[in-house]
């Protein structure tokens, strides 16, 4: 479980460290003993002047909680999300995102890009979209690329003072830069050891705006040389295709991605954005593209299965009997999704693709054996199919049973990396369980009816 959090901009490293330790202590109290293996914490990425200017530094917190192996957990890791979020939500001024398990997607699943040239208009519209997202059930960890604004300090020298004291702006800027950023002045050699000598102001001298104004520059305090302005600027400006924009994103929990995506599209169509252009990014458009590709793959698989059977049976009609098993398997797919509360995702479509090649095997056993019986012993279609049912029942049940029982452990898992592929296993199991008995009941009837029509058609041709 990973938590990436930010304290309010300008928070010192010591304060951020205290907040991070309090977060870890509080989160540990809601995790059952033995479930947590160890934790990793990174606080801040800098200090001193970075924190004063609000850079991406001392207010950052990265936490990672490593859990015990899934089989040793007292409850699934996902069950800890709600209590952990309650702890994080109770910390004033803290913004955070949290992820658990394996995250294969790049970024949040819901991403809305809003384009506008004016930066402050972008901020207002981004906040409007963020507030609207909060009203959609199932959205969590809402954030905007313009959520974090920092203070930019800009010093403007007074030309009259500069002229009176005979100092040019470049010399003033160079001295101030060296004092704040530091200068590698020399190297001290002691035996075989080289020691770099770095000169700069002490961190305490630049720990606040007032102390910066009091810095000695060319023999006088900085405030005597001009005016120090403070402006709010975004910590990051997001662009796409050279267009300035704001990225508003969120995660989802408790609802299907497709359902949340429909609500988001409906929300964006009704929001008054002043004519600003927007587009939906993230997992939703990728999912639509994947679904289209999988639909083509399933259609191609069915067509190839038909061609193989047409060659095998030397008939263009009999393969349709076997292709009809795929709709029968879809009954099981629909039932298993309805009973388990699953949504039709990409892994479920992979299961349907597998079913297209699996369920026809049972029909091939029946139809091929019945055809052999009719040719070898001159049996009627009904007699041949009854004989095929008696002699091919055990192979059919064994074939279906081995497939179902092999996938059953994966189908029953719902957490961790195994849970990622459990929809595929459930889809195949549901399709096989329903298609197998229907094959034994429906396919013989259809075979006899088709054979009867074929014989009547031949009789009419003879007359």
Average pLDDT of span 166-193: 83
pLDDT digits (tens, 9 = 90+) for 254-303: 787 778 888 888 898 888 888 888 888 877 787 778 888 888 988 898 89
Using the structure block, give the residue that is written with the tokens 């040019």. Answer: 168
The dotted CATH code for 151-234 is 3.30.2090.10
Check pLDDT > 50 for residue 395. yes
Buried residues in 232-271 as b, exposed as e (16+ CB within 10 A):
eebeeebeeeeeebbbbbbbbeeeebeebbebbeeebeeb
Check pLDDT > 80 for residue 462. no
Domain boundaries, the chain: 1-101, 151-234, 315-462
Average pLDDT of span 384-411: 88
Confidence grade of residue 418 (pLDDT, cut at 50, 70, 90): low
pLDDT for the residue numbered 76:
81
For 176-232, what is the HEC assignment? Answer: HHHHHHCEEEEEEEECCEEEEEEECCCHHHHCCHHHHHCCEECCEEHHHHEEEEEEE
Q: At what angle do helices 381-412 and 360-377 cross, to 10 degrees?
A: 160
61 vs 6: CA distance, rounded Å: 6
pLDDT for the residue numbered 461:
44
pLDDT for the residue numbered 87:
92
pLDDT for the residue numbered 49:
45
127 vs 121: CA distance, rounded Å: 10
294 vs 21: CA distance, rounded Å: 47
pLDDT digits (tens, 9 = 90+) for 319-368: 888 888 888 899 999 998 888 877 777 888 888 888 888 888 888 888 88
pLDDT for the residue numbered 106:
53
The dotted CATH code for 315-462 is 1.20.1640.10
**Cβ–Cβ < 8 Å for 203, 48:** yes
pLDDT for the residue numbered 413:
76
pLDDT for the residue numbered 459:
46
DSSP string, 393-455: HHHHHHHHHHHHHHHHHHHH--SHHHHHHHHHHHHHHHHHHHHHHHHHHHHHHHHHHHHHHHH
Q: Dihedral, CA atoms, 351, 354, 356, 358, nearest 10 degrees?
A: -120
- Given phi > 0 = left and psi -120 to 50 = alpha, else beta, which region is 18? alpha
pLDDT for the residue numbered 419:
62
pLDDT for the residue numbered 428:
92
Task: Give how far Cα 74 sits from Cα of 71, 85, 410, Å.
Answer: 8, 20, 20
* pTM as predicted: 0.59
Q: Confirm or reject CATH 3.30.70.1430 for domain 1-101, answering yes or no.
A: yes
pLDDT for the residue numbered 417:
57
Check pLDDT > 50 for residue 463. no
Highest averaged pLDDT of the listed ranges 70-84, 167-181, 423-437: 423-437
CA geometry: angle 7, 11, 17, nearest 5 deg? 75
pLDDT for the residue numbered 73:
85
Average pLDDT of span 188-207: 80
Average pLDDT of span 445-460: 69
Average pLDDT score over the chain = 82
pLDDT for the residue numbered 26:
92
Cα Rg for the chain, rounded, in angstroms?
Answer: 35
Average pLDDT of span 239-258: 83
Check pLDDT > 70 for residue 148. yes
Average pLDDT of span 137-163: 84
pLDDT digits (tens, 9 = 90+) for 30-81: 998 888 888 888 887 544 444 444 444 578 888 989 888 877 888 888 888 8
């Amino acid at each position: 479980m990973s938590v990436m959090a930010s304290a309010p901009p300008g928070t010192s490293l010591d304060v951020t460290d205290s907040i991070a330790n309090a977060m870890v202590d509080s989160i540990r109290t809601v995790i059952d003993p033995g479930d947590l293996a160890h934790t990793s914490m990174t606080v801040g990425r800098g200090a001193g002047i970075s924190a004063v200017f609000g850079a991406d530094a001392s207010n950052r917190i990265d936490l990672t909680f490593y859990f015990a192996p899934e089989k040793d957990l007292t409850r699934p890791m996902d069950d800890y999300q709600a209590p952990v979020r309650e702890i994080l939500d109770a910390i004033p001024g803290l913004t955070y995102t949290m992820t658990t398990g394996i995250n294969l997607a790049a970024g949040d699943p819901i991403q809305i890009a809003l384009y506008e040239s004016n930066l402050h208009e972008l901020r207002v519209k981004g906040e409007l979209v963020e507030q609207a997202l909060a009203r959609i059930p199932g959205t969590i960890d809402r954030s905007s690329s313009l959520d974090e604004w920092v203070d930019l300090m800009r010093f403007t020298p007074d030309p009259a003072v500069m002229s009176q004291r005979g100092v040019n702006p470049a010399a003033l800027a160079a001295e101030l830069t060296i004092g704040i950023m530091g200068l590698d002045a020399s190297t001290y050699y002691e035996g075989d050891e080289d020691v770099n000598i770095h000169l700069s102001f002490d961190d305490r001298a630049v720990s606040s705006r007032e102390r910066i104004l009091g810095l000695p520059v060319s023999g006088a305090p900085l405030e005597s040389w001009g005016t120090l302005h403070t402006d709010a600027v975004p910590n990051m400006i997001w662009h796409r295709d050279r267009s300035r924009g704001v990225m508003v994103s969120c995660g989802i929990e408790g609802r299907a991605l497709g359902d949340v995506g429909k609500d988001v599209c409906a929300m964006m169509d009704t929001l008054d954005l002043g004519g600003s252009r927007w587009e939906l990014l993230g997992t939703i458009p990728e999912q639509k593209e994947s679904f289209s590709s999988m639909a083509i793959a399933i259609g191609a698989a069915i067509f190839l299965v038909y061609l193989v059977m047409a060659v095998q049976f030397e008939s263009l009609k009999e393969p349709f009997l076997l292709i009809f098993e795929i709709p029968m398997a879809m009954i099981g797919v629909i039932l298993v999704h309805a009973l388990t509360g699953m949504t039709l995702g990409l892994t479920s479509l992979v299961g349907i693709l597998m079913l297209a090649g699996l369920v026809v095997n049972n029909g091939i056993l029946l139809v091929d054996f019945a055809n052999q019986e009719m040719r070898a012993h001159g049996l009627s279609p009904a007699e041949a199919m009854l004989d095929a049912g008696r002699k091919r029942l055990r192979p059919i049940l064994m074939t279906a049973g081995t497939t179902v029982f092999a996938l059953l452990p994966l189908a029953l898992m719902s957490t961790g990396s195994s849970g990622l592929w459990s929809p595929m296993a459930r889809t195949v199991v549901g399709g096989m369980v329903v298609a197998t008995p229907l094959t034994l009941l429906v396919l013989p009837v259809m075979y006899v009816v088709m054979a009867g029509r074929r014989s009547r058609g031949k009789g009419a041709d003879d007359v």
